Structure 1
Amino acid sequence: MASGLLASRGVLTLGLHYQHVCRSVLVTQTRQKKRWMKAYTRIMEAKLKLEGPPPPKRRSEKPNWDFHAEVEAFGARLQENFQMERLKAAFVNPCYVRVEQERRSALGLEPEMAVLALKDNKKLRTRGVALTRDFLSDWCRASFPSLPAEGASALVDHLMTPEVVCHVARNLGVEDLTMSAEVPVPDDVLYGTFCAVVAALEESSGPQRTGLFLRDFLTTQLIGKDLFDLWSVVNPMGLLVEECTRRGLPLPEPRLLRSAGASTVLPLFFVGLYCDKKLLAEGPGETLLAAEEEAARVGLRKLYGYTENRRPLDFSPAPQLHVSQSNTQALSSG
């Protein structure tokens, strides 16, 4: 009897030990990482070092691409009504048409068959550049009426630079739809494509919607920018004297307000400019001349209405757009 109990107890102990061993084996086999993964990763890293990164591909060369659907989604994403044929033509650059025709000719096709039935954006690009510059000039004059012509021209030139326009175009997804001969798309081609899209919008929805589009995406690039970072003024004190003379104000008089560490390697001076015994502006500098120039820049910002604490620009929709949207909602609900 006792021997039977001992035998059954031994079997039970052996079974529990077997279950524990099997459980540990199963846990080690489900590590979520395969044994061949480490060697494969090393091989791929070595191949990447030897061959370098793969060449970039067009978005159209990758899977799940439908150009017509992407163009329609582009207009819907921007909430703009484009004519599809004009918008498609805005993305076709002359360099792409030329390269495709050369490729077809190299394949042995006849000249009549090698010609692509695509309309490029050459005319749209030229029109778009003129439309964009005209709108930005009018907008700068309306938003900053006290700013002289040189300052307004400097703001327009900054907004029309390829860096700013290409930055806006890439963030709007224009680069993925651009048909270009080179990959990635060069800045000049992307710049022209964005301007062609502006012209296509003007021909599709009119100048008002085009102005709102440029206002919302281009003029907002001035937020956080200092006036004299965009407009290079060699002699700010002389310009301030000219502005005061033109406006009939007394000439500014510089006065040293306070200083610190004048005899050290890091001196600091604060110079104030007074007009008719009133403090117009003050500015710091490592020397008296530098502080006077900085104070003159502060005074010019105040006269031009381009201070940091100025009233924010109005980016709200036009009143007539609210009316049209309300009418549309009323018709759809009725």
Structure 2
Amino acid sequence: MASGYILNRGALTLGIHCQRVCRSVTVTQVREKKRWMRAYTYLMAKKLKLEGPPPPKPRSQHPNWDYHAEVQAFSTRLHENFSLQLLKTAFINPCYLQAEQARRQGLGVDSELTALDLKNNIKLSAKGADFTKSFLIDWCRASFPSLPSDGVQSIVGHLSSSAVVTNVARNLGIEDLTMSEVFPVPDDVLHSTFMAVIGALLESSGAERTGFFLRDFLVTQLIGKDLFDMWTVVNPMGLLMKELSKRNIVLPEPRLIRSAGASTVLPLYFVALYSDKKLLAQGPGETIVAAEEEAARVALRKLYGYTENRRPFDFSPQQQHEQPLIQSVSSS
């Protein structure tokens, strides 16, 4: 009885104390942003509109940058066995050496002390460009044996063009490691740097690994690419007749098989090509001449083996080709 009275009295005392504490607390409204933030944000937006965005900075000027670790990580990320010394040389362009030499001389340092003990990537770039061209030519001739030399040169020119190579180089992170005079790195400098990386891989791992590297990163750019987007043919019908004459096939005969909206603004014609009463190809066009040319292009794609429904390229690793052979030998 006494203990219950003591507990009730303690709870009552505690409640009175909490009420006194709560009455002494004042509730104040807190804004999500400071009052000065609105004016500051307005001034910064106005300054950005007048001056434009700040110039981009290379990754090396940002904090937490370790060039040696980044170069080593680049080699590991691509699963390639690069020589780190050759790989570092591949990223050094002549324009960077000239700009760095001029900067050091402008600081008033002695000319003997400003000398840079670095090699540029000119030799590696030339070696990589030669190997890339020869590999792509051999690959195209092996994959499309019926394709003439003009078509092979067009495909090789497309794959080794500045637009394709620089796109691959930027996606591989080569631009962040490239030592150049200006940033963003110009396309010609990035192209030569990528070829220097190919040259470094060629000297480090040999021609076979370098060929796999080019197959995986350059040849794959042909996926979804039409032949005549890379190869400009002015007279497809004349080329088709020339190819059929080489194969001793009867020359094609064009026939109009379908048409729609001939009297409208958007007409459509379908022309088919027949050779010895056999259908070679058919194609659409806004005019009969355009449809005939498109049908000739379709027939050329079939002759060269570059159709949309062709067998996909084999980009599987080399070990997968050797595995069934090993299993068959072990089972026997």
TM-score by length of 1: 0.87
Structure 1 residue 200 corresponds to structure 2 residue 200: yes
> What is the letter of the counterpart of residue 256 of structure 1?
L
Deviates more, 1:49-58 or 1:303-312: 49-58
> What is the letter of the counterpart of residue 258 of structure 2?
R
The structure-2 alpha-carbon separation of the partners of 1:146 and 1:56, relative to structure 1 and needing over 3 Å to count, comes to same
Which residue does the alignment assign to 2:229?
Answer: 229
By how many angstroms is 1:321 displaced?
9.1
Alignment of 1:157-172 (within 5 A): 157-172=157-172
Structure-2 separation of matches of 1:112 and 1:305: 62
By how many angstroms is 1:54 displaced?
1.3
Which residue does the alignment assign to 2:282?
Answer: 282
Structure-2 separation of matches of 1:241 and 1:80: 47
Structure-1 separation of matches of 2:36 and 2:26: 23
By how many angstroms is 1:22 displaced?
5.7
Structure-2 separation of matches of 1:77 and 1:265: 55
Which residue does the alignment assign to 2:269?
Answer: 269
Return 5+ residue gaps in structure 1 as ranges.
1-11, 327-334
Which residue does the alignment assign to 1:5?
Answer: none
1:293-315 Cα offsets, whole Å, 9 max, x none, are 01000000011111111110000
Aligned Cα root-mean-square deviation (Å): 2.0
- Secondary structure (helix, strand or coil) at the match of 1:111 reads coil
- Secondary structure (helix, strand or coil) at the match of 1:259 reads strand
> What is the letter of the counterpart of residue 185 of structure 1?
V
Structure-1 separation of matches of 2:320 and 2:88: 29
Which residue does the alignment assign to 1:58?
Answer: 58
Structure-1 separation of matches of 2:32 and 2:72: 42
Which residue does the alignment assign to 2:187?
Answer: 187
Structure-1 separation of matches of 2:298 and 2:320: 38
Structure-2 separation of matches of 1:251 and 1:136: 33
> What is the letter of the counterpart of residue 255 of structure 1?
R
Structure 1 residue 40 corresponds to structure 2 residue 40: yes
Deviates more, 1:95-104 or 1:42-51: 42-51
Which residue does the alignment assign to 2:12?
Answer: none
Task: Figure out how many residues of one structure are paired with residues of the other and give that number.
Answer: 305
By how many angstroms is 1:275 displaced?
1.4
> What is the letter of the counterpart of residue 301 of structure 1?
R
By how many angstroms is 1:102 displaced?
1.0
Which residue does the alignment assign to 2:149?
Answer: 149
Structure-2 separation of matches of 1:196 and 1:114: 26
Alignment of 1:63-142 (within 5 A): 63-142=63-142
1:119-172 Cα offsets, whole Å, 9 max, x none, are 110111111111111111111111111111100110000111101000000000
Which residue does the alignment assign to 2:10?
Answer: none
Structure-2 separation of matches of 1:285 and 1:108: 69
Structure-1 separation of matches of 2:53 and 2:137: 44
By how many angstroms is 1:39 displaced?
2.1
Structure-2 separation of matches of 1:217 and 1:22: 67
Percent pairwise identity:
65
The structure-2 alpha-carbon separation of the partners of 1:288 and 1:33, relative to structure 1 and needing over 3 Å to count, comes to same
Structure-2 separation of matches of 1:34 and 1:120: 53
The structure-2 alpha-carbon separation of the partners of 1:321 and 1:313, relative to structure 1 and needing over 3 Å to count, comes to closer
By how many angstroms is 1:59 displaced?
1.4
Structure-1 separation of matches of 2:187 and 2:97: 18
Which residue does the alignment assign to 2:307?
Answer: 307
TM-score by length of 2: 0.87
> What is the letter of the counterpart of residue 44 of structure 2?
M
